[in-house]
Amino acid sequence: MEKIRASVIGASGYGGAEAVRLLATHPQIDIVHVTADSQKGREMSNLYPNLRRYVDQTMIEADAEAIGRDSDVTFVSLPSGKAMHMVLPLLEGGSKVIDIAADFRLHDASLYPVWYKFEHVAPTYLGEAVYGLPELHRDEIRDTRLLANPGCYPAASLLAILPLIRSGKTQTSGIVIDAKSGVSGAGRGGGGGFGYAEVNENLSAYSVTAHNHTAEIEQELTAAAGGDGPVRVVFTPHLVPMTRGILATAYVPLAQELPEAEALALYDDMYADEPFVRVLHDALPQTKATLGSNYCDVTVRVNPRTQTAIAIAAIDNLGRGAAGQAVQNMNLMFDLPEATGLAFPGVFP
């Protein structure tokens, strides 16, 4: 079988570099172009020394038309608001596109100015883009040429809450998600406030009531609940002094009695055949168990006194929260076995 030609736009960033790392050992992939902005002209393995012997390309400036012509698939890992300008020339050139940014995740264009503070330049493509959570949209993912890869917090939050919300046994408001992320979530270009001196031995909440991932989480939970009204969540992210990892703890008010064993059975049922979700019964998720992998570890407990389900998920923000998920979606889009290039455990301790 001829190899799939893949390019990564934004390869100098953490999300793009993680995609390059996974693609470099993927048996069906030839990496064609890797691009950068301020880092253009630099060897990929000079900026990311873990890639020595695996990647010999120099990062070039992104020319979306040329990359679209040369590639079967292009991963776009740029700051949100920049990616949408690349997508049209890439698609016209004949490349499938996997957007790791947020530019095609929301179906409603009017939500972009509210949550992301930009107007969408390609709103007609929002209807075509498929939200890339395989546990929800596997069949559509197989057929699309424009894939909107989920955000890191939404990937963890949705996988934690979906079995509960789909059961109809929970309320659709009053859901609280308390989530923590490692610093790589802010990207290599994270800038002020993300240096060692300020992050080390520190813990802080941010974007309280206003984080843009709220819209994406509500969009997918509302569709999954299948009810008349929208699902609403309170989502509060925190920055913790670790490099990678997200732990999302969701407090979901129950609408009727739900014994813990039945709650766990909902997770077993939904995720029974999922290659990258591990339902824990006798242990609790921890970020380190997913480090460097595409796995999501998830569980649920029930507090009968308050009639609350507590759902907990752990992922690697750059793995299942970004590049790992993107490669899983690529496998589906090219009819490859879904776990190709991703079937390895994380790094522990």
Ligand X SMILES: NC(=O)C1=CN([C@@H]2O[C@H](COP(=O)(O)OP(=O)(O)OC[C@H]3O[C@@H](n4cnc5c(N)ncnc54)[C@H](OP(=O)(O)O)[C@@H]3O)[C@@H](O)[C@H]2O)C=CC1
Rule CB under 6 A: which of 248-307 touch ligand X2W?
none
Query: Of 5-13, 63-71, 196-204, 281-289, which part binds ligand X (CB under 6 A)?
Result: 5-13
Rule CB under 6 A: which of 13-32 touch ligand X?
13-16
Choice from 73, 101, 221, 326 touching ligand X2W (CB under 6 A): 101
Query: Of 135-143, 179-187, 230-238, 262-270, which part binds ligand X (CB under 6 A)?
Result: 179-187
Choice from 184, 249, 287, 293 touching ligand X (CB under 6 A): 184
Cα→Cα distances 338→90, 133, 177, 276, 342, Å? 24, 13, 29, 10, 8
Q: How near is the Cβ of 63 to ligand X at its closest, in Å?
A: 12
Residue nearest to ligand X (CB): 13
Q: Is residue 290 a contact residue for ligand X (CB under 6 A)?
A: no
Residue type, 176: V
Q: Is residue 188 a contact residue for ligand X (CB under 6 A)?
A: yes
Q: Residue 103 or 297: which CB sits closer to ligand X2W?
A: 103
Q: Residue 172 or 249: which CB sits closer to ligand X2W?
A: 249
Active site residue 152: yes
Which does residue 239 bind out of ligand X2W, ligand X, none, counting CB within 5 to 8 angstroms by kind? ligand X2W
Q: How near is the Cβ of 336 to ligand X2W at its closest, in Å?
A: 25
Q: Is residue 318 a contact residue for ligand X (CB under 6 A)?
A: yes
Question: Mind spelling out the 3-state secondary structure of the chain?
Answer: CCCEEEEEECCCCHHHHHHHHHHHCCCCEEEEEEECCCCCCCEHHHHCHHHCCCCCCECECCCHHHHHHHCCEEEECCCCCCHHHHHHHHHHHCCEEEECCCCCCCCCCCHHHHHCCCCCCCHHHHCCCEECCHHHHHHHHHHCCEEECCCHHHHHHHHHHHHHHHHCCECCCCEEEEEEECHHHHCCCCCCCCCHHHHCCCCEECCCCCCCHHHHHHHHHHHHHCCCCCCCEEEEEEECCCCCCEEEEEEEEECCCCCHHHHHHHHHHHHCCCCCEEECCCCCCCHHHHCCCCCEEEEEEEECCCCEEEEEEEECCCHHHHHHHHHHHHHHHCCCCCCCCCCCCCCCC
Taking the CA atoms of 27, 273, 313 and 157 in sequence, report the sign of the dihedral they define. positive
CA atoms within 13 A on the CB side of 328: 29
Q: How near is the Cβ of 281 to ligand X2W at its closest, in Å?
A: 30
Q: Residue 37 or 63: which CB sits closer to ligand X2W?
A: 37
Q: Is residue 17 a contact residue for ligand X2W (CB under 6 A)?
A: no
Which does residue 200 bind out of ligand X, ligand X2W, none, counting CB within 5 to 8 angstroms by kind? none
Rule CB under 6 A: which of 163-202 touch ligand X2W?
181, 185-186
Distance CA 298, CA 158 (A): 11
Question: Which of 152, 156, 221, 258 is labelled catalytic?
Answer: 152
Q: Is residue 242 a contact residue for ligand X2W (CB under 6 A)?
A: no
Q: Residue 35 or 157: which CB sits closer to ligand X2W?
A: 157
Q: Catalytic positions, please?
A: 152
For ligand X2W, the binding residues (CB under 6 A) are 80, 101-102, 151-152, 181, 185-186, 213, 237, 239
For ligand X, the binding residues (CB under 6 A) are 10, 12-16, 36-39, 77-80, 82, 100-101, 151-152, 184-185, 187-189, 317-318, 321-322
